[in-house]
Amino acid sequence: MTEGLGPVERTKRHPLSCVPCRQRKVKCDRNQPCEMCVLKGRSSDCAYTPKITKRPGQHRFRPVRDRARYLDSAIGSLAERQEMAQPPCTSSPDGEFQSTEGSVGRIRTQQGETNYVGAEHWAAIAGDIGCAQEIRRPTLQQPQNDRSPDLLMGTRSAVTLEELLHAVPPRTVVDRLISRYFNAMDFFALITHAPTFEKEYNCFWEDPSSVSLNWLSILYSMMSIASCHSSFSSDPKDGTSQSREDISFFRHRSAQCLVLSDYTKPTVNTVEALLLYFFGQHIERQKNQFANYLVFTTVVRVAMRAGYHRDSLHFQGISTFTGEYRRRVWLVLLQFDILMSFEVGLPRTINEVETDTELPRILRDGDLTPEMSQLPPSRPEDDSILCHMIVRVGILRVLGKIQDRAVSIHPLSYDIVIQIDQSLDEQYDSVPPSLKAHHRYAITETPTSLLQRLMIDLLFQKARCSLHRRFIHSQPKSHRKCIDASLRIIHHQSYIYHECRPGGFLWGYKWKVICAASYDFLLAAIIICLGVNPQNGSGQNVPPCVDPDSYGGPGKLLKALEESYMIWTEWSSEIHEARVVSDIVKSVLKRVKGQPTMVPFDNNDKTVGTTCLSNSSAAANNDLPLDTAIDMENFSPLSTDIFADIIDLNGGIDWTQWDNQMQQQGINPHSQANSQMWFTN
């Protein structure tokens, strides 16, 4: 009778020892203060967990609740089986369910997990290439520590404010981490007013118990993010290196603060604390990208519950200072919503017709004070992080419209594509020349400002690819724009590859760049594969709708693809998806040329942003010397199987299945690092 009700919950014993003795795992005499704390000189820290008085009859109805829960799940399972018995869709042997009414997405079942993906993700386009039989299939193994976020799945044990305060490291350690957090100047630092936080920080060390749980969560998240920066830094002189255990510990404590404060009832700093927790989660691990996306959607809903989607001018109780920072927070949420929804292939969480929050002004921390009654005029456009985010929001909103059309149940007409394309060009033309991409940098320029320019252009080129990809074989204009955008992305990839090597301008930023632009580079490589090996969904060759010489001819595409292949092969040890792409590109090159031939990269070559392939006539005739050729039969990049059902040279690339895999796998820049999307797209 009790089968299926789950294990019987055991009553937890109330701890009798003081908190310091339990942490040190020593015997406590249970006095106040205890003998051990007196000997250690920590009498003031000797505290006992208060005993919780349980209400009488608390467990009286637990068996009834368990049986009701079991009955409810049984009824739900029966209803699901009845729905699945109906034949609205066709099923393939690999557990994949596809609608019979056009490209509306796909439901894929793998190892008992069911996922829906839209039809416009970059991975779904790979069905037009097809190389399933040439992609190897190793067994995927998820790392044991790749758990779901603490905020979603719980923190496993109850915790008190005293324990959370006691877990804060010594001030010397915290000082270094907080300093690194603000000096990194990524956009998450924009949601906190540094002078105000510094005052609160000093007050915290004078009286730790005076701070709120939300503020303590922010402190832990800052330490987690700063530890990630330190862990991924390539600078050997950095003395703040932190272990992965420290990063996970800080993130876990941040989640405990949020749970204890009941973040479902937002108060002061709840949204900011949730957002910083998400940033720490998103940087530290990306294997379960969809779980991170769920955390983000939770942050958005809590922010809307707190009214962040409506401009603060509507509410008299919100100060000028607070209102401006609420605008900054909403700007971050709006941009992340578009980017993350695009990458997981799902509809956006924020509907822009429901929000009227204005853009923040370009102001520095010194321009803002909590006592101010009126905002100063916006500063001129510069190379600051805030200006970069404000400038790119126009392009992002167009990308959001593209995503809306991609997940829509209504077909997309080419007239709409032309309208969106014009809007996209207008937004890019409005970008100040100083923020447009070029592969030159001044001696006084910082790597961050260079990355900002590159990421704005990558965002624009990605939007062009996504908008025109559906019509690449039927409309000459879309074909040209799609191929041109993809070539420009690979051009940036080559430049970044060179500058991220030792001695390059971006040396030490490689993990950021790879995390930030991986999706864009993957998309460009696949579209170039389509240009080199044009096929329709049935695997039939498609006659070119434009003159190949209009974009440099097939030879230019092959050179770009070979260059991309070389880079992906080298990055395959750092990016999980690089192994997949290198196999796809390898298959296409073998099919088109028989065997790709490449000139190795010159580590001393400072000419960046240009092809690394030989321009000799021998290269054009596919007759390079043997010492410059890669033996494709013996060369074996790390094998992968996750796209074997997606790619079929005779049947095309199935982008919806690729969507599904990208949701499950995410984009993992390092074996120990994960995405930092604020530099991307």
Average pLDDT of the segment spanning 298-308? 92
Q: Are 621 and 601 in contact (CB under 8 A)?
A: no
Determine the pLDDT at residue 11.
60
Model confidence over 633-663: pLDDT tens digits? 333 333 333 333 444 433 344 445 545 554 4
Question: Could you tell me which residue, 187 or 410, shows the higher pLDDT?
Answer: 410
Dist. CA 489–CA 517, nearest whole Å: 9
DSSP states of 607-661 as a string? Answer: --SS--S--SHHHHTT---GGGB--TTT--PPP--TTTTTEETTTEE-HHHHHHH
Dist. CA 582–CA 585, nearest whole Å: 5
Dist. CA 480–CA 482, nearest whole Å: 6
Given a cut of 90, whether residue 411 has pLDDT beyond it is no
Q: Of the ranges 334-348, 431-445, 610-624, which is most confident? A: 334-348
Write down the pTM of the prediction.
0.68
Average pLDDT of the segment spanning 85-113? 44
CA dist 584 → 126, 461, 514, 639 (Å): 9, 22, 19, 11
Q: Of the ranges 225-229, 293-297, 562-566, which is most confident? A: 293-297
Residues 6 or more apart whose CB falls under 8 angstroms from that of 340 comprise 292, 293, 296, 677
Give the Cα-Cα-Cα angle 180, 228, 570 (nearest 5 degrees).
120
Dist. CA 558–CA 593, nearest whole Å: 9
Confidence of residue 140 (pLDDT cuts 50, 70, 90): very low
Q: Could you give the angle at which helices 320-344 and 270-284 cross, rounded to 10 degrees?
A: 30
Given a cut of 90, whether residue 169 has pLDDT beyond it is yes
Dist. CA 70–CA 76, nearest whole Å: 10
Count of Cβ atoms closer than 10 Å to residue 173 Cβ:
14
Mean pLDDT over all residues of the chain?
73
C-alpha 674, offset from chain centre: 8
Average pLDDT of the segment spanning 398-414? 90
Question: Could you tell me which residue, 17 or 329, shows the higher pLDDT?
Answer: 329
Model confidence over 115-135: pLDDT tens digits? 434 445 444 445 445 554 454
Given a cut of 70, whether residue 671 has pLDDT beyond it is no
Which strand (E) or helix (H) includes residue 257? helix 244-261
Determine the pLDDT at residue 126.
53
Given a cut of 90, whether residue 335 has pLDDT beyond it is yes
Q: Which amino acid is at 284?
A: E
